[in-house]
């Protein structure tokens, strides 16, 4: 099957500084892919290269099987049939919602029915005559998505579209945008630095590190089986424990831990990656001392000591702040890496 997007060995440098280093990346038709990584990893540059805003220095990019960048060619953005949703929406303040959505359509296509159909995908068909200043931040982003979808693009790219929104709105809008893309049957590439956002919205997550794709897989696999310690950190909440590995089992300061698989480095010393939700309070378990407790609403964040090691552990919110001795154990399979400093 032809990929919606195929990125092959793409490189890009600015002023001699390599930003993309032999990137390989693909999106299946009708799927949403998230480019996840910290600032400076190259994810936005890759998005801009796919959209045609930046020329690449090497490799090639194909959209629906047709080369749009590479081998001396560069198809301009307006001819790629790629819808673009920037940060903050970037709506025209002097145009109504209908005017913004219809802006990218050819004159003969700017019918009320066509614009209404695009707005229906994001649930805003009743707001066609409003202006951007009369909309909430979430509504503005949904209008920006409708504008990108209106011309029937082959692909939609979204550049951290929820970045400036508060947490609750970001979560709800992420779900709404994902649903709208699915209703439209559109393929999409989303750039984000937020693991939760990537996992919630994408069929595939590509973790970027220093200009390369460090791992590309479905969200649960990336979270549960990170390919490296760096990927584990990027995907959120990684706790590394010194351990002794024997086969597919490890002995840690919190007791025994099962491993997803025997590590390629073999038996011996290792660092085991444990996710916060895998550290469970209660017997049986390793004795730990609570040295600090911070109320976080639906849970308490405990700072505990186990021997000489200090750890941050989530616990159910409890009014008994005097509790200072607990037991901890690890539940669920973990991943072992060579010792992490």
Q: For 117-140, what is the mean pLDDT? A: 93
For residue 295, the model assigns a pLDDT of 87
For residue 215, the model assigns a pLDDT of 98
Most confident of 54-58, 85-89, 167-171, 309-313: 54-58
Q: For 293-310, what is the mean pLDDT? A: 88
Residues 201, 35: Cα–Cα separation, whole Å: 11
For residue 323, the model assigns a pLDDT of 65
Query: How far out from the chain centre does Cα 206 lie?
Result: 8
Query: How far out from the chain centre does Cα 329 lie?
Result: 29
Q: For 331-336, what is the mean pLDDT? A: 95
| Adjacent-strand bridge partners of 164 | none
SS3 of the chain: helix, strand, coil, percent, to 5: 25, 40, 35
Residues 58, 82: Cα–Cα separation, whole Å: 21
Nearest Cα to 206, choosing from 64, 46, 1?
A: 46
What's the chain's average pLDDT? 92
Higher local confidence (pLDDT), 88 or 251:
251
- Is 33:217 a contact under the CB 8 Å cutoff? no
């Amino acid at each position: 099957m032809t990929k919606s997007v195929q990125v092959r060995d793409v490189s890009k440098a600015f002023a001699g500084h390599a930003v993309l280093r032999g990137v390989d990346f693909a999106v299946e038709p009708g799927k949403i892919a998230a480019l996840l990584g910290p600032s400076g990893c190259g994810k936005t540059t890759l998005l801009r290269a796919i959209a045609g805003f930046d020329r690449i220095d090497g490799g090639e990019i194909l959209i629906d099987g047709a080369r749009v960048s590479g081998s001396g060619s560069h198809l301009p953005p307006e001819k790629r049939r790629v819808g673009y949703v920037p940060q903050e929406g970037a709506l025209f303040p002097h145009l109504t919602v209908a005017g913004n959505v219809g802006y990218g359509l050819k004159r003969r296509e700017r019918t009320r029915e066509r614009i209404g159909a695009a707005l229906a995908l994001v649930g805003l068909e009743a707001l066609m005559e409003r202006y951007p200043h009369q909309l909430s931040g979430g509504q503005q982003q949904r209008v920006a998505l409708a504008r990108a979808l209106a011309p029937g693009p082959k692909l939609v790219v979204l550049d951290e579209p929820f970045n400036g929104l508060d947490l609750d709105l970001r979560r709800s809008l992420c779900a709404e945008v994902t649903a709208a893309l699915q209703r439209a049957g559109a393929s999409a590439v989303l750039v984000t630095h937020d693991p939760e956002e990537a996992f919630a919205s994408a069929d595939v997550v590509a973790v970027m590190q220093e200009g390369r794709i460090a791992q590309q897989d479905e969200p649960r696999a990336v979270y549960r089986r990170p390919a490296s310690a760096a990927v584990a950190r990027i995907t959120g909440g990684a706790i590394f424990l010194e351990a002794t590995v024997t086969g597919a089992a490890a002995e840690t300061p919190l007791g025994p831990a099962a491993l997803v698989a025997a590590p390629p480095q073999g038996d011996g010393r290792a660092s085991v990656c444990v996710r916060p939700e895998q550290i469970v309070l209660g017997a049986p378990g390793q004795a730990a001392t609570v040295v600090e407790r911070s109320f976080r609403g639906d849970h308490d964040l405990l700072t505990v000591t186990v021997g000489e090691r200090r750890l941050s552990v989530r616990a159910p919110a409890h009014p008994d702040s005097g509790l200072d001795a607990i037991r901890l154990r690890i539940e669920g399979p973990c991943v072992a890496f060579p010792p992490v400093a």
